[in-house]
């Protein structure tokens, strides 16, 4: 095919710099989920396309017919691990009769929705993708500023900011923060590292639910003068703690949500505004959790009515209650398991408060828009020299090893560090699983404590999604927590079989967390991807052999020998979603070839 001069060679800066990763994640997710029939109905081309010979080793051109007169073409490679086609590199070409144009992620999705729709949430998906590209441009600006700053790996603020530079790996709309303007994004996102003060309100005690000491948030936080200022303002308004509870609010939530969702309560005097712009806080990589500048080991998690990963960052009271129950369960397991005690510690998340009204259904979104939780890290966690906290998601950022100042200099030391991280995480996860529970171990929830450049111990946070398999718990002498689960919705906390329990490790722990690290380090150090998968497999084998679980053979069969693994689908549930989805990210379960079987096959073929 002859192309119009220069048409397909257009190099739009926004496409090249800001949305190429979004485009890659979008196409790869469509391939694995076969969204729009991309995998089933497309074909590999034998003839040269666009530029004769412009294919690297292993690349092919892929063609998908959108309509009678429209085709899209782009280069692909076949992953030896996942055994599926994946997007290779720009451009993506739209071919219409004699016209060929390069299109970006938003143009591609818009075209597919127009020709293959309608879908219940097609327009919402498109808007979110467009916002992701826009916010990715801002994040790129923040990354440049961050790289020019001095590394401070001993600082929670700094490592959380580093973690935010990747966001949720492999999700094309992860960067979108629905509801935020560009100014909001630059003020409140962790990428830019700006500080801001909190708003404080008082809620009548008969309209608040609390856990632990959640009715005295101001004294628990204790940044300089905060408790004094709040107490003084309550006295000035003539209200006492006996009948009122002070509640902190994210300033964006105070400006955009409080007055509309809680207008009636404000008019009735059930909610009283107290103060604005109090203290100095920074957002962590989770967006809604904040770090006060006065102390880095006490964090504050606040409701935030902003959409991220297609879910509102709110705090429904049942999530907070379930988290307290889950923490109690894990604490009991740690008491009974001395090996786990050496591997991991837990954040204390029992102190919380949330709005409560008799006119609200327990499962409605509204109460979740007015809630707060204290997160305390274990005492003495960062004591000692050269000790620093690293969310695992920070390790998945390209260049993270260099930015963290880790003593890594070559391929051997990179793989040694990856092996240590795998061994620790897998050992921790499988020991918990043998008790019948599965923490949510994606990169944001697991924190490694590094001491003198070596990963020493893990810390778990965000306990509200501890999955359980009650038969194994009861057999181990652990009483299952009595979770509150919304009737008529898929129950992802109390699982029907041990396969479903392990699925959350296979998907979030390996495919999202460990693979994201492998993906970044593979690019940084030019190490083949299959080498990292081999390390994951060998780590699983070592842990199972060493620990001798009562369910070792089950672990071995499910993780190492089955032909397929579960896979979290993200686009199909998003495009089919009806309603807001509340505080839960749209996702489902599909299946993929077992990547560890693929890795060992390549190992045997290479003669190792």
pLDDT per residue over 103-144, tens digit each? Answer: 999 999 999 999 998 999 999 999 999 999 999 999 999 999
CA distances from 222 to 218, 352, 500 (A): 6, 15, 42
- Structure tokens that stand for 267 in this block: 């008019």
Mean pLDDT of 262-289: 97
Question: Containing H/E element for 11?
Answer: none
Report the distance separating Cα 452 and Cα 14, nearest Å. 40
Is 480's pLDDT higher than 60? yes
Contact status, residue 339 vs residue 431, Cβ threshold 8 Å = yes
Residues near 267 by beta carbon (within 8 Å), at least 6 away in sequence: none
Query: Model-level pTM?
Result: 0.94
Name the H helices within 61-121: 105-116
| Helical pair 20-33 and 105-116, crossing angle rounded to 10 deg | 30
Summarised one tens digit per residue, pLDDT across range 310-365 is 889 999 999 999 999 999 999 999 999 999 999 999 999 999 999 998 877 778 89
Residue 250 in 3-state DSSP?
coil
User: Considering the chain, what is the average pLDDT of its residues?
Assistant: 92
Is 17's pLDDT higher than 70? no
Mean pLDDT of 42-55: 72
Is 226's pLDDT higher than 80? no
Residue 102 in 3-state DSSP?
strand
Report the distance separating Cα 19 and Cα 556, nearest Å. 40
Beta bridge partners of 177: 308
Is 475's pLDDT higher than 60? yes
Report the distance separating Cα 71 and Cα 80, nearest Å. 27
Beta bridge partners of 304: 313
* CA count, 13 A, side-chain hemisphere, 393: 23
What own/partner pairs with CB < 8 Å and gap ≥ 24 does 12-21 have? 12/102, 12/104, 14/104, 14/133, 14/137, 15/90, 15/102, 15/104, 16/90, 17/137, 17/140, 18/133, 18/136, 18/137, 18/140, 19/104, 19/105, 19/106, 19/133, 19/136, 20/90, 21/136
**Looking at 347-356, 509-518, 587-596, which range is the least confident one?**
587-596
Report the distance separating Cα 180 and Cα 250, nearest Å. 13
* Closest by CA position to 329, among listed 466, 426, 449: 466
Report the distance separating Cα 324 and Cα 344, nearest Å. 18
* CA count, 13 A, side-chain hemisphere, 584: 21
Residues near 419 by beta carbon (within 8 Å), at least 6 away in sequence: 535, 538, 539
Q: Tokens 């940044």 map to which residue? A: 223
Residues near 250 by beta carbon (within 8 Å), at least 6 away in sequence: 188, 198, 199, 288, 290, 302, 303, 304
Mean pLDDT of 446-463: 97
Contact status, residue 176 vs residue 59, Cβ threshold 8 Å = no
The greatest distance separating any two alpha carbons of the chain, rounded to the nearest whole angstrom, comes to 81
- Is the bond leading into 118 cis (omega within 30 degrees of zero)? yes
pLDDT in the model for residue 7: 37
Q: Classify domain 13-117 by CATH number.
A: 3.30.310.280
* Closest by CA position to 136, among listed 106, 113, 108: 106
pLDDT in the model for residue 599: 59
**Cα-only R_g, the chain:** 25
Question: Containing H/E element for 398?
Answer: none
Phi, psi of 573 (to 5 degrees): -60, -35
* Closest by CA position to 172, among listed 309, 31, 32: 309
pLDDT in the model for residue 138: 96
What own/partner pairs with CB < 8 Å and gap ≥ 24 does 62-67 have? 64/38, 65/41, 66/111, 66/112, 66/115, 66/116, 67/115
Report the distance separating Cα 323 and Cα 316, nearest Å. 11
**Three-state SS string across 416-483, please?**
HHHHHHHHHHHHHHHHHHHCCEECCCCCCCEEEEEECCEEEEEEECCHHHCEECHHHHHHCCCCCCCC
Q: Classify domain 383-605 by CATH number.
A: 1.10.510.40
pLDDT in the model for residue 575: 95
- Is the bond leading into 543 cis (omega within 30 degrees of zero)? no
> What confidence tier does 46 reach under pLDDT thresholds 50, 70, 90?
confident
CA dihedral 484, 487, 491, 495 (to 10 degrees): 70
pLDDT in the model for residue 581: 63
> What confidence tier does 204 reach under pLDDT thresholds 50, 70, 90?
very high
- The percent helix, strand, coil of the chain (3-state, each to 5) is 45, 25, 35
pLDDT in the model for residue 5: 37
Summarised one tens digit per residue, pLDDT across range 63-85 is 999 999 999 999 999 998 888 99
Residue 119 in 3-state DSSP?
coil
Burial class (CB in 10 A: 0-12, 13-18, 19+), 425: buried
Summarised one tens digit per residue, pLDDT across range 150-182 is 888 889 999 999 999 998 999 999 999 999 999
Percent of the chain with pLDDT strictly greater than 90: 83
> What residues does each domain of the chain span?
13-117, 178-331, 383-605
Query: Cα dihedral sign for 428, 431, 433, 437?
Result: negative
- Structure tokens that stand for 293 in this block: 């500048």
Percent of the chain with pLDDT strictly greater than 70: 93
pLDDT in the model for residue 362: 78
Contact status, residue 375 vs residue 301, Cβ threshold 8 Å = yes
> What confidence tier does 577 reach under pLDDT thresholds 50, 70, 90?
confident
């Amino acid at each position: 095919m002859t192309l119009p001069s220069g048409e397909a060679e257009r190099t739009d800066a926004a496409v090249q710099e800001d949305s190429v990763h979004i485009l890659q994640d979008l196409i790869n997710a469509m391939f694995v989920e076969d969204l729009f029939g991309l995998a089933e109905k497309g074909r590999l081309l034998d003839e040269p396309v666009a530029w004769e010979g412009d294919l690297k080793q292993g690349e092919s051109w892929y063609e998908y017919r959108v309509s009678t007169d429209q085709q899209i073409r782009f280069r692909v490679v076949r992953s030896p691990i996942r055994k599926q086609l994946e997007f290779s590199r720009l451009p993506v070409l739209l071919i219409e009769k004699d016209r060929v144009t390069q299109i970006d992620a938003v143009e591609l999705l818009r075209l597919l929705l127009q020709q293959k729709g309608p879908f219940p949430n097609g327009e919402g998906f498109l808007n979110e993708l467009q916002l992701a590209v826009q916010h990715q441009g801002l994040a790129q600006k923040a990354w440049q500023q961050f790289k020019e700053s001095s590394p401070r790996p001993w600082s929670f603020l700094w490592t959380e900011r580093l973690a935010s530079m990747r966001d949720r790996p492999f999700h094309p709309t992860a960067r979108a923060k629905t509801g935020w303007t560009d100014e909001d994004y630059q003020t409140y996102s962790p990428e830019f590292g700006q500080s801001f003060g909190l708003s404080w309100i008082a809620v009548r005690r008969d309209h608040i639910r609390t856990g632990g000491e959640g009715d005295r948030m101001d004294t628990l936080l204790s940044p300089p003068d905060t408790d004094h200022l709040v107490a003084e303002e309550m006295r000035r308004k003539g209200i006492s703690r006996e009948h009122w509870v002070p509640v902190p609010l994210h300033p964006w939530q105070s400006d955009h949500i409080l007055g509309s969702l809680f207008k009636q309560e404000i008019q009735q005097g059930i909610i009283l505004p107290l103060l604005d712009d109090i203290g100095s806080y920074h957002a962590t990589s989770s967006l809604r959790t904040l770090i006060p500048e006065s102390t880095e080991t006490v964090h504050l998690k606040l409701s935030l009515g902003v959409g991220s990963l297609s879910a509102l960052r709110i705090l429904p009271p049942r999530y907070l209650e379930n988290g307290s129950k889950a923490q109690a369960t894990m604490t009991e397991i740690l008491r009974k398991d001395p090996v786990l005690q050496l591997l991991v510690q837990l954040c204390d998340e029992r102190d919380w408060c949330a709005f409560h009204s008799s006119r609200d259904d327990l499962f409605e979104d509204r109460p979740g828009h007015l809630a707060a939780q204290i997160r305390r890290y274990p005492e003495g966690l960062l004591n000692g020299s050269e000790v620093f906290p690293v969310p695992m998601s920070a390790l998945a950022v390209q260049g993270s090893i260099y930015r963290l100042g880790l003593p890594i200099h070559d391929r051997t030391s990179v793989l040694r560090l990856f092996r240590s991280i795998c061994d620790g995480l897998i050992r921790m996860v499988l020991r918990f699983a043998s008790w019948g529970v599965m923490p949510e171990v994606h990169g944001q929830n697991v924190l490694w404590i590094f001491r003198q450049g070596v990963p020493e111990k893990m810390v778990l946070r965000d306990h509200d999604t501890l999955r359980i398999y009650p038969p194994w718990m009861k057999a181990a002498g652990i009483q299952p927590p009595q979770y509150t689960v919304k009737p008529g919705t898929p129950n992802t906390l109390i699982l029907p079989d041990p396969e479903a329990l392990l699925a959350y490790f296979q998907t979030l722990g390996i495919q999202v967390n460990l693979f994201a690290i492998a993906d970044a380090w593979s690019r940084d150090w030019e190490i083949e991807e299959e080498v990292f998968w081999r390390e994951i497999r060998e780590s699983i084998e070592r842990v199972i052999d060493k620990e001798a679980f009562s369910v070792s053979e089950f672990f071995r069969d499910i993780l190492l020998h089955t032909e397929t693994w579960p896979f979290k689908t993200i686009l199909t549930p998003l495009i089919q979603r009806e309603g807001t989805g509340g505080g839960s990210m749209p996702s489902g379960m599909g299946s993929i070839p077992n990547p560890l079987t693929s890795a060992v096959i390549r190992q045997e073929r290479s003669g190792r």
